[in-house]
Structure 1
């Protein structure tokens, strides 16, 4: 049985006010994913003013990213209208957190928001005159609010955030998420913080590999490798097997003379069927065994709303780990992923600290693989993502860091505040010791 709620802790908080702000971030050059150019993304910041049990005032700040094309790729609404709806959702969730009489740790404050998300999405969709809003879009809207709750909680206690995910500070274990969570707390599975994080360099479908193929002002893969030493590459695929095979080979030919220690991950962005993807891997394994051995994992190869054949996916996962990304929108999915054939999940800080902490704990306890991605996070959201990557029990060391490629200007304030986080040397960034709050790393 899950541990019963206990009396209040001195670190418990109650939200009094919340403020939300948005920032439009242009991607230059556009990030091409499955033939769709992503030209902008919205950064969101939430500040909560809270009060401890003793009446002391404390503030917390949370950041996130609202990527409409990623979280809500199609609807009866245009892109700008979907953007407005997602911004409205953040406002609604912040107001709901403010209007709550709950006092407790951030998981206690977050859970009613998470449990009521479907109802809020249905209500908002009716108001917008559309059939539905994807739950993934709702998770991104909730993420910044949740991150602010954790930040305020840590600052109220004056303790490093990751040191507080224990029975001493939390009212409940994770038993409410199933038997696997009974007696388990998120801090039980965290690792000692890493001081260096290898950078995973993204390659959009149209990104140039060599200088002679690069347009003016656009850097080639060769240039990135020579200047930063990146050696973990994430390749976006198109779903056209023959073209993707040639692209993978071209990347390998270009990169390995510069970085013999090259590692690859493949992200088809839902563009494949499992049989076709299996044939692609057959070809690479047969004709390019050295290249095939450099592939770490596959990320969300099939459409997010498709239920895979368990035997077929299990056979694929036995060759190369296959991770769920866009299809992961409910914590309850973790209990069935292994039976469905998945190897593990992708964690994104922009879905919220509670979601990330619960996911890593339950996935680790079940022996599933974990990778962390950042959804082109900038500034505070990037700082949070890197700090999270430093302590998560990830299965591969590299952390996605797309904004240095596509939105470098949006990290100007971060560069002044924490220059090591925007300086890549020998393929890695340095992170400092954990202090407190979701942004102090």
Structure 2
């Protein structure tokens, strides 16, 4: 079977600036892989992340080299497995899952034995002024879970403002490595008074020893500190939950293994994503279907998502239209 890989970079405009402790973005920059064979096309999307030394250009270059290997007749699975964990491998792995379904080799639901249904997802409240965060929380107050981006500047005031504006929502607190241990400890009383279901990566991944043996009022979730299944054991003594993202793990195949490893070690699973289109979220829903909590609101941030993609309404993520990704037959 002859395989052709086509790669392109896309910039998808956001409905509002997306701010975290490390910076702000107004567009989602994604790389799309189209894997072609026998008249069928499999699609995959990834989000390069500068935190891990990735850029859209560097990821595109990785995929172009992978395409050259495919053109020599090397098997697609071997080429995927040769890529390092990260965005490029994610795009190619997901494109391969999709292509194999299009070629009649088994849809993702048949191969995994389940099909994701609608699921509650966290809706992100971007880091902003206290008043702006409260207003954003009020606008999303019908969502069952809000993910609150914070840094070390007035975190309690911002968190309390969000909680007050959306009193019915459970909260995920996400400083994106922006706190120190003293800040984390100072926030304990506030977090204990609120319906916080987890605190995600409060300390820098390379400076998290203070979490060892820490008794905290909410579970601590590892994000930047853990990328693949091989990393999970290394952080199991400091974290209670693992954020499984396809862009970190390097595709659906690796993300499934990562989630299984977390479960084996008695850790919770958060299904996470980058700001992305439904082409990233459709495969991630298979992680969400087995997760303790879901944070897959990437397309909610876009001015325009892909036709037939997922939708988020009142904090519920609905699967894409039939034929969008990972199933036999033509796309709608």
Q: What range describes the TM-score normalised by the shorter chain of this pair?
A: 0.7 to 0.9
Report the alpha carbon displacement of residue 233 of structure 1 after superposing the two structures with TM: 0.5
The structure with the largest alpha-carbon Rg is 1
Residue of structure 2 in register with 1:94 after alignment? 67
Residue of structure 2 in register with 1:263 after alignment? 170
Residue of structure 1 in register with 2:319 after alignment? 431
* Residues 390 and 249 of structure 1: CA distance in aligned 2, closer, same or farther (over 3 Å): closer
Report the alpha carbon displacement of residue 93 of structure 1 after superposing the two structures with TM: 3.2
Pairing partner for 1:303 from 204, 208, 215: 204
3-state SS of 1:327 partner: coil
Q: Find the aligned partners of 2:267 and 2:2 in 1 and give their Cα distance.
A: 35
* Residues 313 and 203 of structure 1: CA distance in aligned 2, closer, same or farther (over 3 Å): farther
Unmatched tracts of structure 2, length 5 or more: none
* Residues 162 and 22 of structure 1: CA distance in aligned 2, closer, same or farther (over 3 Å): same
Residue of structure 1 in register with 2:92 after alignment? 145
Structure 1 residue 37 corresponds to structure 2 residue 24: yes
Q: Find the aligned partners of 2:323 and 2:258 in 1 and give their Cα distance.
A: 23
Report the alpha carbon displacement of residue 144 of structure 1 after superposing the two structures with TM: 0.5
Residue of structure 2 in register with 1:84 after alignment? 57
Contact 1:193 1:433 in 2 (8 A): no
Report the alpha carbon displacement of residue 313 of structure 1 after superposing the two structures with TM: 3.1
3-state SS of 2:87 partner: helix
3-state SS of 1:408 partner: coil
Give runs of ≥4 in structure 1 deviating > 4 Å: 207-211, 432-437
* Residues 210 and 329 of structure 1: CA distance in aligned 2, closer, same or farther (over 3 Å): closer
Structure 1 residue 342 corresponds to structure 2 residue 239: yes
Contact 1:209 1:251 in 2 (8 A): no
Q: Describe the superposition over 1:134-187 as per-residue Cα deviations: whole angstroms up to 9, x where unpaired.
A: xxxx6012210111112122333443314325xxxxxxxxxxxxxxxxxxxxx7
Residue of structure 2 in register with 1:401 after alignment? 297
Contact 2:140 2:166 in 1 (8 A): no
Pairing partner for 1:110 from 80, 88, 94: 80
**What is the TM-score with the length of structure 2 in the denominator?**
0.85
Residue of structure 2 in register with 1:65 after alignment? 47
3-state SS of 2:214 partner: helix
Bigger share in helix: 1
3-state SS of 1:38 partner: strand
* Residues 15 and 164 of structure 1: CA distance in aligned 2, closer, same or farther (over 3 Å): farther
Contact 1:34 1:268 in 2 (8 A): yes
* Residues 100 and 300 of structure 1: CA distance in aligned 2, closer, same or farther (over 3 Å): farther
Listed as ranges, the matches of 1:257-406 within 5 Å are: 260=168, 262-285=169-192, 289=193, 291=194, 294-309=195-210, 312-316=211-215, 319-338=217-236, 340-350=237-247, 351-385=250-284, 387-391=285-289, 393-396=290-293, 398-405=294-301
Contact 2:296 2:317 in 1 (8 A): no
Contact 2:297 2:312 in 1 (8 A): no
* Residues 57 and 314 of structure 1: CA distance in aligned 2, closer, same or farther (over 3 Å): farther
Contact 1:155 1:436 in 2 (8 A): no
Residue of structure 2 in register with 1:172 after alignment? none
Contact 1:161 1:436 in 2 (8 A): no
Q: Describe the superposition over 1:280-334 as per-residue Cα deviations: whole angstroms up to 9, x where unpaired.
A: 113543xxx2x1xx1111111111333524xx43324x63221221222343212
Residue of structure 1 in register with 2:110 after alignment? 163
Contact 1:236 1:269 in 2 (8 A): yes
Q: Find the aligned partners of 2:254 and 2:2 in 1 and give their Cα distance.
A: 19
Q: Find the aligned partners of 1:265 and 1:97 in 2 and give their Cα distance.
A: 42
Q: Find the aligned partners of 1:194 and 1:161 in 2 and give their Cα distance.
A: 10
Q: Find the aligned partners of 1:160 and 1:97 in 2 and give their Cα distance.
A: 22
Report the alpha carbon displacement of residue 395 of structure 1 after superposing the two structures with TM: 1.1
Report the alpha carbon displacement of residue 19 of structure 1 after superposing the two structures with TM: 0.8
Residue of structure 2 in register with 1:253 after alignment? 164
Contact 1:32 1:205 in 2 (8 A): yes
Structure 1 residue 201 corresponds to structure 2 residue 201: no
